[in-house]
Structure 1
Amino acid sequence: MRSRNGTPANAYLFVVFLILYAPILYLLFYSFNSGGTMHGFEGFTFEWYQEVFQDTRLFVIVLNTVVIALLSAAISTLFGVMGALAINRIRRRRNRNALLTVNNVLIVSPDVIIGASFLILFTMAGIKLGFISVLLSHIAFSIPIVVLMVLPRLREMSPTLIDAARDLGASGWYVLSRVVLPFIRPGIFAGFFMALTYSMDDFAVTFFVTGNGYSTLSVEIYARARHGISLSINALSTLIFLFTLALVVGYYLMNRRGNRRPGWGAPLP
C-alpha cells in the first residue's frame, strides 16, 4: 500500500520540481552556447564565463552585493533574535499578536510600495542613495524574516530548562548564552541564510534605493537585459544560482551536524 500510494506522490513532486527548475536548466544549458543566442545550440564554449570574469565593473558589483548581503544578514540576525526573544517573553496574547502583525507588515507588503517608501524616507532624511541606503533597507526587510525563523524554536523550548538553569544558580546572561541560544541555533542559522538569500535576490526595493555609481547584481542584470539578450547574463545567473545552491547545501550540512550533537550547551558551573 505504501509503495502504491507513494508512486503518484513522487511522480507529482518530480513534475513540480521539473517545472520549477526547467527554466534554470535552460538558462544554464545555453550559457555554454558558442552561437550567442538561445535559439539553437551551435557548440560548447566558456566564452561567456570568461567575459563575466574579465569584467572589472561586474566584479565590483558582485563585491557590493556580497558585502551588502553579509552585513545586512548579520545585523538583521542580531536584531531579529533580540526581537524574537522580546516577543516570546510577552505573556498577553493580544500584545504578542499585535507585535507579530507589525513584524509581518514588511513581509506581506508589495516590494514596490516598500521601495518607494524607503526612497521617500531617505530623501526626507537627507541620506544619500548608495551603500548606506541599500544596507538600511535590506536590514529593515530582513529582520521580520529572522524573527519568523527564530520564534518557532523559542516556542518549542520548554520553560523548565530555563527554570532548572536558574535553580542551579546561573545568571541571566549564562542562561541566554548556554541554554537559550544553543537551543535556537538552527533557527538563527535559518534566519541568517534566509536573510542572506533575500538580500542577494532582492530587486524591487534595491532598484528604488540605489544611487548613481552604485549597483547590485539584481539591478545590473535587469539593466543588461534591457539592452538585449546576452549569454553573459546566462553565465552570470548560473554562477549566482550555483552560489546560492552551495549556501543551501552548506546550511543543510551544518544543521544536520548540529542536530547530531547531544545536549543544548555547556554544563552549568
Structure 2
Amino acid sequence: MKSKRKLSNIYLVIIFIILYAPIFYLMFYSFNSGETMHNFKGFTLDWYKEVFQDTRLIIIVINTIIIALLSAAISTILGVAGALAISYVKRRQTKNTLLTLNNVLIVSPDVIIGASFLILFTIVGIKLGFASVLLSHIAFSVPIVVIMVLPKLQEMSSTLIDAARDLGASHWQVLTKVILPFITPGIFAGFFMALTYSLDDFSVTFFVTGNGFSTLSVEIYSRARQGISLSINALSTLIFLFTIVLVIGYYFINQRNNRPSGLGVKK
C-alpha cells in the first residue's frame, strides 16, 4: 500500500510539473531585462511598467473585467433558475433530456459555438462588440452554473421544504429562506466558474468581437502574432495571479459557508 501511495504521489508531482512548468517559465522571463526568452540578462520590472503605461491595454482590461462580472452575475441568476426548473421536473426522461441539452453546450467545441453565435448575430442584426461578447459569454456560462448548482439541490432533503410549508411558509419564503441558503455554496461555485471561463475564453470571443472592442485573450493573441514581446509575459503573469486570487477567494468563501454554525437559543 505504501509503495502504491508513493507511486501515486510521484505521478501527481510529475503531472503538476508538466502543467505548471511552462507557466513558471513564462513568468520567470517576464522579469528579464533582455528582449528574448532564451538568455536571462538581469532582473527588471520594465515590462510591467510598459503594461501599466499602455492606455489601450488598460481599457481592454477594464472591458474584460466588466464582461466577466456581468456575464457571471447574469448567468448565475439564469443558471440557478434553470437548475431549479430541472430539479422540479418529475418525469425522469424529460429531466435527462434537459440535462443532455445542457451538457451538450459544455462539451461542444468552442469553434462551433463561436461560429454559431457569429451567424446568429449577423442574421439578427446585432452589431459585433460589447453586446455580442456579453451575450455569448452568458450563453456558454449558464450550463456551467446549472452543473454546479444541481448537485446541491439533489443533496437537499425534501423534508426541509415540507417542514417549511407545514409552518406556513409561502413559495417565495421557501425559495429565499430554505432553498437558496442551502445551495449557496453551489451558487458561489457557479459564479466563480463562470467568471474564470469568461476571463479565459478566446475561441468564442474571437468570433464575436468587432472593430474597436477586444478582450485580453484576443489582445494577447493579436500581440503574439506580431512577434515575441516580454510585455506579453508580464500581462499573462498578471492574469495568472489574478486567477489565483479568485480561486483563493472562492476557497475561503466555500470554507466559511461549509463551516457548521452553532445553534443558539434566543431568550
TM-score, length basis structure 2? 0.96
Q: Matches of 1:13 and 1:258 in 2, distance apart?
A: 29
Q: Matches of 2:216 and 2:70 in 1, distance apart?
A: 16
Q: 1:262 deviation in Å?
A: 2.4
Match of residue 218 from structure 2: 219
1:47 aligns with 2:46: yes
1:201 aligns with 2:208: no
Q: Matches of 2:77 and 2:260 in 1, distance apart?
A: 24
Q: How does 1:11-50 map to 2 (within 5 A)?
A: 11-50=10-49
Q: Matches of 1:14 and 1:168 in 2, distance apart?
A: 53
Task: Using the aligned pairs only, state the percent identity.
Answer: 75
Alpha carbons of structure 1 residues 226 and 123: separation in structure 2 relative to 1, 3 Å = same
Return 5+ residue gaps in structure 2 as ranges: none
Q: Matches of 1:116 and 1:246 in 2, distance apart?
A: 32
- Classify the secondary structure of the residue corresponding to 2:210: coil
- Classify the secondary structure of the residue corresponding to 1:43: coil
Match of residue 61 from structure 2: 62
Q: 1:257 deviation in Å?
A: 1.0
1:99 aligns with 2:95: no
Q: Matches of 1:225 and 1:30 in 2, distance apart?
A: 15
Match of residue 242 from structure 1: 241
Per mean C-alpha deviation after superposition, the further-off stretch among 98-107 and 180-189 is 98-107
- Classify the secondary structure of the residue corresponding to 1:7: helix
Match of residue 232 from structure 1: 231
Letter paired with 1:17: F
Alpha carbons of structure 1 residues 159 and 95: separation in structure 2 relative to 1, 3 Å = same
Q: Matches of 2:260 and 2:118 in 1, distance apart?
A: 46
Q: 1:225 deviation in Å?
A: 0.2
Per mean C-alpha deviation after superposition, the further-off stretch among 230-239 and 101-110 is 101-110
TM-score, length basis structure 1? 0.96
Match of residue 134 from structure 1: 133
Q: Matches of 1:176 and 1:18 in 2, distance apart?
A: 45
Cα RMSD (Å): 1.5
1:178 aligns with 2:201: no
Q: 1:141 deviation in Å?
A: 0.4
- Classify the secondary structure of the residue corresponding to 2:102: helix
Letter paired with 1:237: S
Per mean C-alpha deviation after superposition, the further-off stretch among 29-38 and 98-107 is 98-107
Q: Deviations over 1:2-55 (max 9, x none)?
A: x54432222211111111100100000000000111001110000000000000
Q: 1:263 deviation in Å?
A: 7.9
Q: Deviations over 1:86-127 (max 9, x none)?
A: 000001110001111111221111111111110110011110
4+ residue segments displaced more than 3 Å: none
Q: Matches of 1:48 and 1:229 in 2, distance apart?
A: 13
Match of residue 73 from structure 1: 72
Q: Matches of 2:215 and 2:260 in 1, distance apart?
A: 39
Aligned residue pairs, count: 265
Per mean C-alpha deviation after superposition, the further-off stretch among 221-230 and 4-13 is 4-13
Q: Matches of 1:200 and 1:38 in 2, distance apart?
A: 26
Letter paired with 1:193: F
Q: Matches of 1:263 and 1:223 in 2, distance apart?
A: 54
